[in-house]
Amino acid sequence: MRKNSPTSKGILSSLKIGLKTGLVGAILTVLLSLIGMVEAFSQRYIIHEVISMGHTLLLLSGYFIADRAARRSISKGKSLALLNSLISGFLSSGSLILLIFLGAFVNLRSVFINASPVLYQLLLFGEEIRTGVLLLFFVGGVVGFFSGLLYLLTGWIKKLTLIPLGSILIAGVLQDLLRPTLAAWGPLSILSEWIFTANGLSISGAIVLGVSISIGSLLWSFKGKSLQRGIKSLSGSKRKIFTYAGFLTLVFLLLVLPHLLGLFLSEVLTIVGLYILLGLGLNIVVGYAGLLDLGYVAFFAIGAYTTAILTSQELGFFHFTFWSALPIAILMGIFSGVLLGIPVLKMRGDYLAIATLGFGEIIRILVLSDFLRPWLGGAQGIGKIPKASIGSFEFARPQEIYYLILAGCLLVVFISLRLKDSRIGRAWMAMREDEDVAQAMGINLVSTKLLAFATGAGFSALSGAIFASKLGSVYPHSFNVMISINVVCLIIVGGMGSIPGVMVGAFALVGLPELLREFAEYRLLVYGAALVVMMLLKPEGLWPEAIRRRELHEEPGEKLSNDSTQGTSGS
């Protein structure tokens, strides 16, 4: 019997990549369907009565899996990469077809409550079973082929395809943010009514938006570099004028933003702002110093409860104003940070994470204890906390609290930027890379670690104090361990050690779920999926610092140099 040639063996082994990746995609799409995400997300349209968020979720899953198949097999050749992406697309849609037929003969709802007739109709695009199955199989193949083809394309053609589609998707997801914002701008209200419907983009609005973005991205691809060179070639005085104009424009937008967005979106901004404050503090501990702190919510609670005890009319122990209680709350946070740092000085990695997690739980249990109930209110919490005020102006509504949080964020950003390039900031980064080497270079690890814990705790206490004033009451359930997990997630997604990354991560992981409040039950699943995607596609984060980007993405010149060195040593 004739044996297989090496070429045919190579083809078969490379096709296994498509099969394995496609099976992962099959499991993913079936899982999204059975846990109810497809049905729940289908309540909102991206383009009205054309494509819902549920179908978009499945398409994105299929696209991502097919893209992974193409990436993993590109070394075998472009044709095999395209074939593998096509195979993975067919397997993803085939698994949904199998789910539909299985549901027709077996009552899956006894095990999976979301395996309902509504789900099957969504998967069949509202068609009868024969037509719907053929359409579903065809769509899977198209998505797989499209994903592989886009991966193989380079340059402006790829951008001209992905950027408009991504813009339409973002506009559809953020319709609750964009629609009222455009409507508040008077002349743009007509544009808002034309682009958006009550649920999703209009067909004409989506087309015009996609074409406009395409033209803009095409012009930028041809003229963008020359424009950047022109700005860089400006003289010093003109460049300063250009910089100041951009800064003043940003300040103006920040000041008028709550009046443009309205009550609900201003409330979302305040929540995002509080998480930015928390993220900037934890960024000192985790991003700069490399100390994994999972009990960070404890300092948030300490700041909130200190403010409550000093200002609450319900307790009546003290009669401080918010501004007189604020420095005490921050000092209590700093003291608690040092108190936590002393016993964990010798710990690293997972042990440090577990110890800090225990500290957070200790604070929560103390707040709930009967012994401290006369002071901390126990499970009933503390109420009647006065709002922050300046003269007769009171920070009561979200549009007003926004300015208080904005001031806190600007202060913390300024301190973080000054610390990053200072002597202590460089000591933190050296300690993050290697504690033993940092100690050998003369860095005092004890004081450096304690300063990191104290600084991060102070920023967290500031956020807690504003949080207590914002709500007018504090309760123990507001300070569970999930706050710490959320803050760690937003730092990882945004980019550890990056101040802009903290802001981007907060908007992505806190702001977006707040806008999509009806899907809040899937928030943890979205967090997990976002972290997995980040580790695969952008392990450095959405907006990483330059050092982190260089560590994870080797420059072409360095790679060539390393390869030549290895070749020389091998010879």
The rounded distance, in Å, linking the Cα atoms of 458 and 102 is 56
Examine the domain organization and report whether 225 and 261 are in the same domain: no
What pLDDT, on a 0 to 100 scale, did the predictor assign at position 6?
Answer: 47
Q: What is the pTM of this model?
A: 0.83
Question: Is residue 164 included in any domain, yes or no?
Answer: yes
Residues in the chain: 571
Please identify which residue in the block is written with the tokens 């946070």: 333
In tens, the pLDDT along 368-409 reads: 888 888 888 888 889 889 999 888 888 988 999 999 999 999
Would you say residue 386 lies in a domain? yes
Q: How far separated are the first and last CA of the chain, in Å rounded?
A: 40
| 429-444 pLDDT, tens digit each | 999 888 889 889 899 9
Report yes or no on 252 lying in a domain: no
CA–CA distances in Å: residue 389 to residues 28, 277, 324, 328, 384: 51, 20, 11, 17, 15
Q: State residue 565's pLDDT score.
A: 43
Q: In the predicted model, is pLDDT for residue 478 greater than 50? A: yes
Whether residues 23 and 111 fall in one domain: yes
Q: If you search the block for the tokens 């000092």, which residue do you land on?
A: 331
* Owning domain of residue 178: 13-229
- CA 331 to CA 359: how far, in whole Å? 18
Span of 207-216, 319-328, 500-509, 512-521 with lowest mean pLDDT: 512-521
Instruction: Supply the pLDDT for residue 97.
Output: 94
The reply to whether 109 and 170 lie within a common domain is yes
Of 227-236, 284-293, 480-489, 517-526, give the lowest mean pLDDT range: 227-236
Could you read off the pLDDT of 277-314 as tens digits, one per residue?
999 999 999 989 989 888 899 999 999 999 999 999 88
Tell whether 117 and 173 lie within a shared domain. yes
Which pair of structure tokens corresponds to residue 208? 């015009």
Per the domain annotation, does 81 fall within a domain? Answer: yes
Residue-wise pLDDT tens digits, 120-147: 999 999 889 999 999 999 999 999 999 9
User: Do residues 341 and 453 make contact, with C-beta atoms less than 8 angstroms apart?
Assistant: yes
- Rounded CA-CA distance 204/191 in Å is 12
pLDDT (0 to 100) of residue 551: 67
Q: Mention every residue, 6+ apart, whose C-beta is less than 8 A from residue 33.
A: 39, 58, 96, 99, 114, 115, 119, 123
- The phi, psi pair for 153, rounded to 5°, reads -70, 150
Question: Collapsing DSSP states into helix, strand and coil, what is residue 474?
Answer: strand
Number of domain units in the chain: 2
Note the pLDDT of residue 73: 87
Q: Is the dihedral of CA 236, 239, 241, 244 positive or negative?
A: negative
Q: What are the residues facing 474 on neighbouring strands?
A: 382
Based on the fold, state whether residues 201 and 308 are members of the same structural domain.
no
389 secondary structure, DSSP code: E
Q: Are residues 290 and 208 in the same domain?
A: no
> What is the structure's pLDDT at 454?
94
Confidence class of residue 567 from pLDDT cuts 50, 70 and 90? Answer: very low
> What would the DSSP string read from start to end of 192-237?
HHHHB-SSSB-HHHHHHHHHHHHHHHHHHHHHHHHHHHHHHTS-HH
Concatenate the DSSP letters of all residues of 29-76 into one string. HHHHHHTTHHHHHTTSEEETTTEEHHHHHHHHHHHHHHHHHHHHHGGG
Indicate the pLDDT class of residue 186, thresholds 50, 70 and 90: low
- What are 501-508's contacts with CB under 8 Å, separation 24+? 501/541, 501/542, 501/543, 501/544, 501/545, 502/276, 502/279, 502/280, 502/283, 503/276, 503/279, 503/543, 504/542, 504/543, 505/279, 505/541, 505/542, 506/272, 506/275, 506/276, 506/279, 507/272, 508/542
pLDDT at 215 over 90: no
- Tell me, yes or no, whether 169 and 305 share the same domain: no
Domain end: 229, 247, 273, which one? 229
Q: Is residue 236 part of a domain?
A: no
Of 191, 210, 229, which residue is a domain's last?
229
Rounded distance between C-alpha atoms, residue 508 and residue 410, angstroms: 20
Residue 173 is assigned to a structural domain of this protein? yes
Contacts of 542 by beta carbon, 8 Å cutoff, 6+ apart: 493, 494, 495, 501, 504, 505, 508, 534
Task: Name the maximum alpha-carbon separation found in the chain.
Answer: 95
Instruction: Assess whether pLDDT exceeds 60 at residue 517.
Output: yes
pLDDT digit string (tens) for 248-266?
888 888 888 888 787 888 8
pLDDT of residue 452: 94
Question: Any residues with CB less than 8 A from the CB of 271 and at least 6 apart, and which?
Answer: 510, 511, 514
Residue 8 has pLDDT above 70, yes or no: no
Whether 278 and 191 share a structural domain: no
Hey, which residues does 569 pair with through a beta bridge? none
**Token pair 């948030």: residue:** 300
pLDDT band at 552 (very low <50, low <70, confident <90, very high): low
Average pLDDT in the chain: 85
For residue 462, the Cα-to-chain-centroid distance in whole angstroms is 23
How large is the average pLDDT for residues 496-511? 89
Which string of b and e fits 197-211 if b means at least 16 CB within 10 Å? Answer: beebbbeebbeebbe
Q: Is residue 130 within a helix (H) or strand (E), and if so which, with residue range?
A: helix 129-152
CATH number at residue 470: 1.10.3470
Are 102 and 215 in a shared domain? yes
The reported pLDDT for the residue numbered 99 is 93
| Residues 393 and 479 both lie in one domain | yes
The reply to whether 397 and 332 lie within a common domain is: yes
Residues 269 and 225 in one domain: no
The answer to whether residue 58 is domain-embedded is: yes
The pLDDT assigned to 194 comes to: 83
10-65 tens-digit pLDDT: 677 778 888 999 999 999 999 999 988 899 889 889 999 899 999 999 999 999 99
The answer to whether residue 241 is domain-embedded is no
Question: 154: how many CB neighbours lie within 10 A of its CB?
Answer: 8
Which of 73, 21, 539, 15 lies closest to 29, judged by CA?
Answer: 21
SS3 525: helix
